[in-house]
Homo-oligomer: A and B are copies of this chain.
Amino acid sequence: MLSPFQDAATGVARRVILFSFLSLCLALSHSLVDTREVRAQTDDEQTVNAIFNERLTSGEMYYLLEDLCKNIGPRLSGSEGAERAVAWAKEVMEGYGFDRVYLQEVMVPHWERGEPEQVRIVDVEEGMIELRALAIGGSVPTAPAGITAPVVVVHSLEEVEEIGREAVEGKIVFYNRAFDQTVIATGPGYGGAVDQRFAGPSQAAKFGAVGVVIRSAGSDFGDAPHTGGLRYLEDVERIPAAALGYQSADRLIEALEEQPGAQLYMRLSSKWHPDALSHNVIGEIRGSERPDEIILVGGHLDSWDVAEGAHDDGAGSVHAIGVLRTFQKLGIRPRHTIRAVLFMNEENGLRGGLKYAEVAKETGERHLIALESDAGGFSPRGFGATADDEVLERFRSWLPLFPQNTISYINKGGGGADIGPLHRETGTPTIGFIPDSQRAFDYHHAPTDVFEAVNRRELELGGASIATLIYLIDKYGLKDEMAQ
């Protein structure tokens, strides 16, 4: 790949040009390289370059993420891991000496997976065939000895209603609609599959099912099951539900084709505990001119229990901390108060986001804007903002400041689950960070969401992009300040 002399600007290399490398392949060098070097830089360009350079050379947030993933690990709300993560985040931000670091109390649900799930095809000839499965978060357990029942395959919630009680009663309903691979950005692929996980169990129970399995709402063709939350309807029996790996789902389909009456054995030993006390973790750099006006940058600290939550949302957590840390290291003194919020319980309750909004409304705290990073630590592509057109146009006018297409668009509409309540309660505009989405749902809620799945430069480029947008918002505001 790539001749060593494709970079025409390298004087040293020029001296040793080999005939075979005279063709200077420009692959991997983006469009702004040349122009950036020859013209004088504005103050903003200098600051933005300093932000990117700091992040790319130190890798400090990458190593912080490694610490969170490897030394804290899984951190589902209510768990010991979540409490260790809260203490860790507070200690990290205090260690950096931010102006203010504190905890905000919040009661959170506490669900435990229990022993490893067992989901097996009861094959008449070959005996039990083990499938890779995870209980869906929030699922009730099966009977302690497990349950065994025939399987009925469906592809939508509507289909359960169509085939009705006669076809469903006493059975395990298998929701087999796969993630739509034809999407380009993968969010809608997930959005188009996840109703099976979230609402499928109660829908099946309404028609007498005794359990539910789903084809995982993930984009990979591997066999890692993807967990996530469910919602049981009131007044409907709560039945156990598990997600199968993609290949395990295929195996089950094959088995049912060979033996239409094949049964599934399923054993889940999950458990609900009483709500537990936990915390949002908050750090601030105080504004020099408008200390009472807050620019919030957040991610969520909790993760599912089956992985390290590296992309979801360790990445967002270190993105948030990283904005403050980068400003501190570069001596950028913001005009507004910059607040990093690591929310608790995004994954199965959103209690942290709700509590934060409640407190903000009660105390009358003013938020200029809130940004969330909860789409992974991949290469940056854009931002989406829920704000009026004048604000969007201002953001778009800054696009040339993001070096070499790091951020190439500002969408209308965007935010994040945790900052949604703040938006609704106080009208605060919101921004969502949009990284490249191709790998996101390969790892999402699966045991594969580990530190090794994160690339240092991608993570830090995303963090630098977020820090750059926050820097510009802080400096210039959302609108001309006379008008605000």
Using CB atoms and an 8 Å cutoff, list the residues of chain A in contact with chain B: 1-7, 9-10, 12-13, 15-16, 18, 20-31, 33, 52-53, 56-57, 59, 156-158, 181-188, 190-192, 194-195, 197-199, 219-221, 228-229, 231, 311-313, 346, 349-350, 353-354, 372, 374-376, 379, 381-382, 384, 403-406, 408-409, 411, 413-417, 419-421, 423-424, 430, 432-434, 436-440, 442, 444-445, 455-458, 461
Q: A181-B56, A436-B379 are in contact. Are A420 and B188 (CB under 8 A)?
A: no
Q: Tell me whether B13 and A194 are in contact (CB under 8 A).
A: yes
Contacts of A157 in B (CB 8 A): 12, 15
CB closest residue in chain B, given A24: B413
Contacts of A424 in B (CB 8 A): 22-23
A406 to B22, CA, bound (A): 30
Q: Tell me whether B312 and A26 are in contact (CB under 8 A).
A: no
Closest 6 CB pairs of A and B: A23-B420, A7-B191, A28-B187, A1-B312, A20-B350, A4-B194
Q: A27-B434, A379-B379, A382-B31 are in contact. Are A439 and B417 (CB under 8 A)?
A: no
Specify how many copies of this chain sit in the oligomer: 2
Q: A2-B374, A375-B2 are in contact. Are A26 and B384 (CB under 8 A)?
A: yes
A22 to B354, CA, bound (A): 12
CB closest residue in chain B, given A184: B404
Q: Tell me whether A381 and B405 are in contact (CB under 8 A).
A: yes
Chosen A-B contacts, 19 in total, with CB atoms closer than 8 Å, are A1-B312, A4-B198, A9-B191, A12-B156, A20-B421, A26-B413, A26-B432, A27-B384, A27-B432, A27-B433, A29-B384, A30-B381, A184-B406, A184-B461, A185-B404, A221-B456, A405-B408, A439-B455, A442-B455
Contacts of A312 in B (CB 8 A): 1
